[in-house]
Structure 1
Amino acid sequence: MHMNVAPHLLTEDRAEYERVLDDALSTAHARPELDGIGTRLTVAQLRAMTLNATALITSAAASEYDHFVKVREQSRAPAGPRTPLADPGAGAGVVAIVTVMVPVLAGTAAAIFLLVGAVLHAIAPTMVFGGTLLTAGLVFAALAAAGLLSAGAGLLLTALRNSPAAAEGATAADDELAHAREAWRRALLERGILPFLRDVLAATGPPDTPRP
């Protein structure tokens, strides 16, 4: 059955609402106030009615939900710009390969050019090509040194990003988000879903059953 979504309930939180409802229905046998489930109304009927009353039920926990959404947005905001730096996907893999290979290849080329240039220069000091190879070897040696410095800087940034302080900050944000979600779930259950189920069961009781 289609579920009416309250204006303040985001689409991504529909599943969480249904999970809280399903948990309440699955543990109804332990709640004396819900003893009418299965006799007056079935679980499926109560679930459908509760889903149709989503706007009414979620409004009972609106303040906790607004806080939860705010904390979630704050936890997501700083992670956006840093994602490319910490992305373990293909892009980060290519950058890592290039960072490692540049000093290796440049160093190898520098060694070859310097060796060949030195041999040619020793055999024929007047040959221009020998001097050219020596110059190229020095250029590649400089590239290798720059590549090593770049790799070292990358390792330093990675170490800083994974430092205990950064990890503690992320853990604190995750804990705050978890507490906000749990506070919303508890308010949704205690002030929204359970009272609604009690009222529905009381309203469908036998004529001699006292109704609130």
Structure 2
Amino acid sequence: MHMTSAPHLLTEDRPEFDRLLDEALRTADERPELATLGERLNAEQLRTMALAATTLLTAAAAAEYDHYVKVREELRDGALSASGTNAEDGGEDQDGGAGVSAVVGVLAPVLAGTAMLIFLLVGYCLKMIDPVPAFAETMLTAGWLFGALTVAALLFAVVGLLVTALRNSSTEVAAEESVPIPDELSRAREAWRNALLERGIVPFLRDALADPTAGPGYPVPRTPGAGRIPSLGYTRPDFTSPGPNSQGPRPGFSSPDFTSPDFGGPDHDPE
């Protein structure tokens, strides 16, 4: 069964409410006011009741929760503004350097390799002519020179890829490091947790256990109790056996009156 969150309790804080409730039930034996746990109601029954009364329980710590949410939102806005500014300042330099490196790393091997193929192809074709032209050797020399440039450009591209990979890996490790929680946010969170536990969850469980209408045969109290316990019970339908006064007059039926036809002799005229 899925319970909906209270209107003032954000979805991201609902797991914290569940953890506090489970902690209160788990440590009930350490609280004298919850010593009767298990006599009329067990932990699962109390948990079901508390989840159904989430709105009432969280309202007991509404002021602390509002302060906690306000502090958290302010810190988030400040962190987003700072990260956005740093990204804009450093992004241009990184993008510019990365752009030049990418152009050189991609175009240089392609252009040098293309020139090498052209010069070598032309040079060897000229050497097939008889007599061999004088500039055939020049074309071959230029082709081998561009071949050396191609190898150098490939090496430059490989080194650039390795440097980029190492730089990105160091950035990822830094991003995965845990960020310490600011003291102000930690204090606001702890104040909300204490208020929710001591003014909401524990009093609700205490009142539920002290309710005389709660019994082991019912998962929740059958009648609304006093204090914080909501009306969550079930009442048995009121069946009453029919009494003598409740019987009304029965409808009467009379048999139809049949009379035999009056038959006479042939000389007797019928009436």
Superposition TM-score tier, normalisation by shorter sequence:
0.5 to 0.7
TM-score, scaled relative to structure 1: 0.56
Shift of residue 205 of structure 1? 7.7
TM-score, scaled relative to structure 2: 0.46
2:142 to 131, 145, 148: 131
- 2:76 matched to which residue of 1? 74
Distance 2:155 2:182 in 1: 42
Shift of residue 51 of structure 1? 0.9
Shift of residue 33 of structure 1? 0.9
Distance 1:38 1:173 in 2: 39
Shift of residue 52 of structure 1? 0.8
Identity of aligned residues (%): 44
Structure 1 residues 12 and 143, CA, compared in 2 at 3 Å: closer, same or farther?
Answer: same
Structure 1 residues 154 and 30, CA, compared in 2 at 3 Å: closer, same or farther?
Answer: same
Write out per-residue CA displacement over residues 158-185 of structure 1, whole angstroms, 9 at most, x where no aligned residue.
Answer: 546756xx888x4324887766555443
Shift of residue 11 of structure 1? 3.1
Query: Does 1:11 pair with 2:32?
Result: no
- 2:62 matched to which residue of 1? 62
Q: Which has the higher contact order (CA 8 A, sep 6+)?
A: 1
For structure 1, the residue ranges without an aligned partner over 5 or more in a row are 82-98
Structure 1 residues 136 and 187, CA, compared in 2 at 3 Å: closer, same or farther?
Answer: farther
Distance 1:2 1:153 in 2: 48
Write out per-residue CA displacement over residues 48-93 of structure 1, whole angstroms, 9 at most, x where no aligned residue.
Answer: 2111110111122334444258638829958x98xxxxxxxxxxxx
Query: Does 1:195 pair with 2:203?
Result: yes
More helix per residue: 1
Structure 1 residues 177 and 35, CA, compared in 2 at 3 Å: closer, same or farther?
Answer: same
Write out per-residue CA displacement over residues 136-170 of structure 1, whole angstroms, 9 at most, x where no aligned residue.
Answer: 4314523533552464355356546756xx888x4
Instruction: Provide runs of 4+ in structure 1 moved above 4 Å.
Output: 75-78, 156-163, 174-183
Structure 1 residues 194 and 158, CA, compared in 2 at 3 Å: closer, same or farther?
Answer: same
1:145 to 139, 153, 156: 156
Distance 2:70 2:140 in 1: 69
Structure 1 residues 71 and 201, CA, compared in 2 at 3 Å: closer, same or farther?
Answer: same
- 2:260 matched to which residue of 1? none
User: What is the alpha-carbon root mean square deviation over aligned residues?
Assistant: 4.5
1:186 to 189, 194, 218: 194
For structure 2, the residue ranges without an aligned partner over 5 or more in a row are 85-101, 128-134, 215-225, 228-271
Distance 1:151 1:69 in 2: 45
Q: Match of 2:209, as an amino acid?
A: L
Distance 1:42 1:153 in 2: 60
